[in-house]
Amino acid sequence: MEYKSWVQSTNLCNQYYTPTARELGRLAGINQSPILHHFAESLARAATIRAFNQEDRFLNTNLCLIDGFSNAQFHNVAVIVWLSFRLNMLSHFVFAFSLVLLVTLPKGIIDPSEYLRYCWLGNIVWNKLEFITGFNYMEYMRCTVPNHFSRKNSSILEDKKPPSNWPQERSITFKNLQIRYADHLPDVLKDISCTFRGKKKVGIVGRTGCGKSTLIQPIFRMVEPRRGSIIIDNVDICKIGLHDLRSRLRIILQDPSLFEGTIRGNLDPYNSTRNKKFGRTYDKYEMIINKYLRIQIACFIQMSIR
């Protein structure tokens, strides 16, 4: 009887705890992403921030973002403590009530071996708490993982493959493009409509945080457009597979980095280029380095003579 009432009470607490903990977990995750984005942006543009004396503004923004995350995380931990406290109180109550029955009832009514079952009640409470928190984490991941797999499954679309020589003209057209990083955040790009003609060098200028880097991300579909479309050589990139899109485009990062391995492994990780082409590239690279060294030596000699 005591076990039945205890199980019913714990299930009632679980029904009250699970929806609250799930939403608080989502809220904590939502408030964590802006912190990471702001930190990466501040780290990459530290020189510009110092040049315009904007350290205090970025610091205050970072502190506000941390406060928002800490507030959600505090309540997330508080509900776990709330559940743990009530489960422990229920187990102590059942344990104390059972001991009173074992002591006060006449001999022979209750089997003394029942005492051993009550001694295991503490382990049952701990396992119950671990099960509830684990189940809540699974509920949280169930809401986030499908979005990840839906993108991975659309990496190759056989019925919507672009031509083999695409892109040939290399023209890029934005039509009423709207971008936001999450559904609850405001738009960072609003109704962008423009055309970049192919085989031209185009420079995008603007202050820090105006959306220069954000304009590049939807081209590789790192961020899906909320509205509008992106046309590359008369092909809507949102209607083709991710593999077909990203394997046809190239990007040179602002901050170059090398992975562990050879130079060829960094330049061509999929071994899709012939050795002859790499040989010609290496010869050009060696010629440029030799010319640069000769210029440096000549300048050093001239400075030494003076």
Q: Give just the sign of the alpha carbon dihedral 35, 66, 181, 144.
A: positive
Residue 128 CB-half CA count within 13 A: 23
Contact 149, 103 (CB under 8 A): no
Contact 191, 211 (CB under 8 A): no
Tokens 């083999």 sit on residue = 164
Residue type at position 89: M
Query: Nearest-CA neighbor of 86 among 10, 7, 1?
Result: 10
Q: Which architecture, in CATH terms, is 159-246? A: 3-Layer(aba) Sandwich (3.40)
Q: At what angle do helices 55-104 and 121-153 cross, to 10 degrees?
A: 140
Longest CA pairwise span in the chain (Å): 114
100 Cβ neighbours under 8 A, 6+ residues apart: none
Q: Walk along the chain (306 residues) in steps of 10 and give the mean pLDDT of each run.
A: 61 76 79 85 85 90 91 85 79 74 71 63 64 69 53 60 83 89 80 88 82 84 87 88 84 73 72 68 70 65 53
φ, ψ for residue 231 (rounded to 5)?
A: -110, 125
Structure tokens that stand for 83 in this block: 């559940």
Look at residue 296 in the predicted model and tell me its pLDDT. 64
CATH superfamily assigned to domain 2-153: ABC transporter type 1, transmembrane domain (1.20.1560.10)
Tokens 């607490």 sit on residue = 13
Look at residue 153 in the predicted model and tell me its pLDDT. 47
